[in-house]
Amino acid sequence: MKNLTMDKLVAHCKNTGILYPGSDIYDGLANTWDYGPVGVELKNNIKRIWWKRFVQESENSYGVDAAIMMNPRVWEASGHVQSFTDPKMDCKSCKSRMRADTLIENFSKGSVDVDAMTNDEMQDYINEHKIKCPVCGNFDWTPIRQFQLMFKTSRNITGDSNDVIYLRPETAQGEFVNFMNIQRTTRAKVPFGIAQVGKAFRNEITPGNFTFRTIEFEQMEHQWFCKNEEEGFKYYKEYKDKAWQFLLDIGFNKDDLKFKDHEKLAHYAKAATDIIFNFPFGWNELNGIHYRTDYDLRRHQEYSGKNMMYIDPVTNEKYIPHDVEYSIGADRLTLAILCEFYDEETLENGETRIVYHFHPAIAPYKVAVLPLQKNMSEKAKEILKKLSKHFMCTYDESGSIGKRYRRQDQIGTPYCVTIDFETLENETITIRDRDTMEQKRVSIDELINFVKDKIEF
């Protein structure tokens, strides 16, 4: 993460096809970003390894892909309609809307525990310290008001205000409402898990910090349903370890990660922690793990009138399962990876190379095919076609070979393959390792097996 600032990262991502500002040609839309050809591969790979670890390799875990728009009663049952709000205030001078807690956090440089403050306490703190608007520099605030974070839309069938539909602010509820369907159709026995990866939407007003907090983002959430409180605490600990190990296996340095237990627990949670990451703008939440008791299923039973009781097939015991939730943003994790594995290295000739040391499993392209000379492009494209059947590859024939290596280094391609005269004679190629920059000669079949082995996660 050497020398990395957010400005540098944003510029790098824009220039290399990782991320662009959303609606760019219309001057953007605040807090939205579009993944380019390189970024979409990176994020897809991240979602894939998460799914592999937490569904494919996790015994008794099942996937779901629920609708983004759900019956509005879901959000009453979950508590979002009543309390999913942020304390916001408007600057009367420049009309900017700000979160009061963020203003205090930034002003106090994290030394004040805003989570523990009431709105009145926050108001007093802002007045006492005369915290100014970060946009215009004036101290001219409206009082703090709670703003609903859910986006609303409407089917407009009746034109009635009761016709409201919310864009889901988390994927978790799609897992809870399908608990009975999944249990019945898979015949899963408690303990078992339900996972979902998908979009969530929040009307966040927190400018800056790139994709850290956006209004549209993807979550990777996993609910683990178990019998009772004793098991809830046991699996809470287990999921803390699993979430931590997942990050270490991606290659995160453990010194850049920390657990931060919640001091103030939500009314439904009996234990909660975040894994926080050392972003260039400071330590911030990467993922959350909550022991949520039987709150969610109990609330859905109450609001839907449908029975959420699980019947143990051996003992015939009936109970509403407890839940341990592990939730991580796909975009938040992608951002942390973009920060953690960025490097600038000084080469022997004094030049600087920007390199992403991504784990090969998440690298956007696994192999870049580079013909040494233009007249070798036919053979190179034949090899590209062969390799592309196995993994994502890219092709580059413009510029010196040194420049082409640099281009691949800066998007983290782990292997560059050069096509030269010998390739034309005996179907061997030179493979260059991104991290060591060492090269060796191998046959094309050897290359395929070698790369397949390296991209295992």
Binding mask 157-186 for ligand GAP (x = CB under 6 A): -------------x-x--------------
**C-beta of 219 vs 410, nearer to ligand GAP:** 219
Binding-site residue total for ligand GAP (CB under 6 A)?
A: 19
* Residue 331 near ligand GAP by CB under 6 A: yes
In the complex, residue closest to ligand GAP by CB? 329
Cβ nearer to ligand GAP, comparing 288 with 321: 288
**How far apart are the C-alpha atoms of 59 and 18, rounded to whole Å?**
34
Q: Could you tell me the sign of the dihedral formed by the alpha carbons of 114, 116, 118, 121, in that order? A: negative
* Tokens of residue 281, six digits: 């703008």
- Select 221 or 231, whichever has its Cβ closest to ligand GAP: 221
Interface region with ligand GAP, contact rule CB under 6 A, candidates 113-121, 280-288, 388-396, 438-446: 280-288
For helices 330-340 and 6-16, what crossing angle results, to 10°? 100
Nearer to ligand GAP, 77 or 419 (CB): 77
Give the one residue of 43, 47, 213, 434 binding ligand GAP; rule: CB under 6 A.
213
327 binds ligand GAP (CB under 6 A): yes
For ligand GAP, the closer of residues 285 and 397 by Cβ is 285
Dihedral-angle region of residue 431 (phi above 0 means left; psi in -120 to 50 means alpha; beta otherwise): beta
Angle between the 444-454 and 377-388 helix axes, to the nearest 10 degrees? 40
Residue 362, C-beta contacts closer than 8 angstroms, at least 6 positions apart: 42, 45, 46, 49, 250, 337, 457
Decide: 2 and 186 in contact? Cβ < 8 Å: no
Residue from 47, 88, 202, 407 binding ligand GAP (CB under 6 A): 202
Based on CB atoms, which residue is closest to ligand GAP, 30 or 309?
30
Q: Which DSSP string do the residues of 413-432 spell out, in sequence order?
A: -SEEEEE-HHHHHHSEEEEE
Least distance to ligand GAP from the beta carbon of 454, Å?
28
Q: Is residue 221 involved in binding ligand GAP (CB under 6 A)? A: yes
Our finding on whether 19 is near ligand GAP (CB under 6 A) is no
- Taking residues 283 to 302 in sequence order and writing x for each that binds ligand GAP by CB under 6 A, - otherwise, the string is --xxxx--------------
Strand partners, 86: 147
| Contact pick of 191, 321, 329, 412 for ligand GAP (by CB under 6 A) | 329
The yes or no reply on residue 276 touching ligand GAP (CB under 6 A) is no
CA distance 438 to 114: 51
Longest CA–CA separation in the chain, Å: 79
275 burial (CB, 10 Å; 0-12 / 13-18 / 19+) is: buried
> Which of 328, 339, 354, 411 lies at the binding interface for ligand GAP (CB under 6 A)?
328
* Residues engaged in binding ligand GAP (CB under 6 A): 170, 172, 202, 204, 213-214, 217, 219, 221, 285-288, 325, 327-329, 331-332
